A and B are shown apart, each in its own frame.
Chain A
Amino acid sequence: MADIHPTLDELDRDGALREAGARVDPITRGSFLRRALAVAGGAAAAGIALPALSPGAALAQSGSDVDILNYALTLEYLEAAFYAEAVSRGALSGELATFARTVAGHERAHVLALQRALGSKAVKRPSFDFKGTTGSQDAFWRTALTLEDTGVEAYQGAAVNIQSRDILTAAISIHPIEARHAAWIASISSRGGTSPNSPAPQPFNPARTMDEVLAVVRSTGFISTMAGATPSQGMTSQPAMTG
């Protein structure tokens, strides 16, 4: 079976994302702001669990913001599936099990928030094959560390390209959570003496571009089948499933 190397363009198999970007709903920024997400301060003080990206908020997003949100959604699908599988396989114990359960919940919440924000423009969840990395403690933490570091770098790199203030506010409420996950798993792994990973290896966290991140994701081979992908696009396994 040939390796599948999906890119975001492949995820956007029918050009829905680009089209969506081209027909931005004529909602004024003011009205969008009023019904968009809860922001710094009040909502935070109230201990909100969701950044309240409103359903259908994507209507007012620029095309590039839709692309960025779908890029984030793809990464969150990947992370959520990885942790869900790790939890369900039951190979983890102690601190790693606590970490996996907690992070699984966070990544699922990120997926739901992004899906709600994108509405019908959300990319479909791909199929995943984690190649045994969820079946042992050692493989799990190494993979988790890579995924979380990559997640931090991805949000950081994308943030500066976001047009909407509200989308930026939401993205940077997720960015530090990925950083917390990354530090947490590094702290667990270094405590066991099995890893020299510092939870905070540099004073300035590096950022990565979308292309760089997608190359990392491709190199894992974890995305096995794009939902709805067709053989002509290089997908060899599952038949096309219409969304």
Chain B
Amino acid sequence: MFHRAKLAELDRDDAILETAADAADAARSSGTTRAAFLTRGGLMVGAGLGLGSLPIALAGAQGGLSSGDVRILNYALTLEYLEAAFYADALKRAGLRGNVLAFARTAHGDEQAHVDALKRTLGGKAVKRPRFDFMDATGSQDAFLRTAMTLEDTGVSAYQGQAPNIASRDVLAAAGAILAVEARHAAWVADLIGRGSDPSPAPDAFSPALDMNAVLAAVRRTGFIQ
């Protein structure tokens, strides 16, 4: 039976605390700068990224982001920074081949597009990209696959946990568009590992959600964020 690792089990030291604190600071400071944000209004996710027509208009055009939405978007950005960096590192050093290489290239491009879209939307309120060290997780194809599945499963649960807290309809639409892609990645990598049986690409009829604290604590324990 394949052991479906939780992020917490990837365990290491501490690090993301700072990033989480930065995100909280950004959220607090955003509460009074709605007017400043509005001057950057009209942002479209992916605009100028060569991604074609995206159905996602983020809230800049709709009257500014609430401080709660800024916090959620920075949380999402932190996770996307992590994922994008993970795939970039794996493409450099994990010796990926065949379908696994195709997956990593696709997922890397997707996560980078998510980072770009979130940064563009947050503008000056975006948290900075942390420094990462993926250690052994990007040292081999096997380690890469297992870590990728855990990160993607966590990404799905993280977006799912925040969706009901999102104030802006546009941000919710964008979160849904990203959530579905994280779920696609999660299923794809599970299928690459287990050929559809173990681990299953769709292990349950209903997807579990995770709250922000649980996800951040788990990410912190991976030690991936320096």
Contact = CB atoms under 8 A, between A and B. Distances in A.
A105 B214 contact: no
Contact of B184 (A95, A98, A200, A206): A200
Given A95-B196, A159-B163, A180-B187, A51 B176 contact: no
Given A98-B196, A169-B164, A180 B181 contact: no
B192 A176 contact: no
A205 to B, nearest CB: 4
Given A177-B202, A177-B205, A205-B184, 11 more contacts: A106-B202, A173-B207, A174-B207, A175-B176, A182-B184, A184-B187, A188-B191, A200-B184, A203-B181, A204-B54, A205-B176
Contact of B181 (A98, A172, A202): A202
Interface of A is mostly: helix
Contacts of A179: 179-181, 183-184, 187
A44 B183 contact: no
Interface of B is mostly: helix
B51 interface: yes
B209 A44 contact: yes
Interface residues of B, number: 56
Nearest to B192: A187
29 contacts: A41-B209, A44-B208, A95-B196, A106-B202, A160-B176, A165-B164, A172-B163, A172-B164, A172-B179, A173-B206, A173-B208, A177-B202, A179-B183, A180-B186, A180-B207, A181-B202, A182-B184, A183-B201, A184-B191, A184-B196, A184-B202, A188-B196, A191-B99, A199-B185, A200-B181, A200-B188, A202-B110, A204-B178, A205-B184
Contact of A160 (B161, B164, B172, B197): B172
A150 interface: no
B195 A95 contact: yes
Contact of B45 (A49, A165, A177, A204): A204
Contacts of B74: none
A102 B198 CA distance: 12
Interface string A186-202: 11100100000011101
A40 B176 contact: no
Interface of B: 45-46, 51-52, 54-56, 99, 103, 106-107, 109-110, 113-114, 117, 156-157, 160-161, 163-164, 169, 172-174, 176-188, 191-192, 195-197, 200-202, 204-211, 214
A103 interface: yes
A109 B46 CA distance: 36
Contacts of A202: 51-52, 110, 181
Interface string A137-176: 0000000000000001001100110000100110011111
B188 A199 contact: yes
Given A102-B200, A204-B54, A160 B209 contact: no
A203 B110 contact: yes
Contact of B187 (A51, A183, A198): A183
A171 to B, nearest CB: 9
B184 A40 contact: no
Given A159-B172, A177-B207, A191-B99, A41 B161 contact: yes
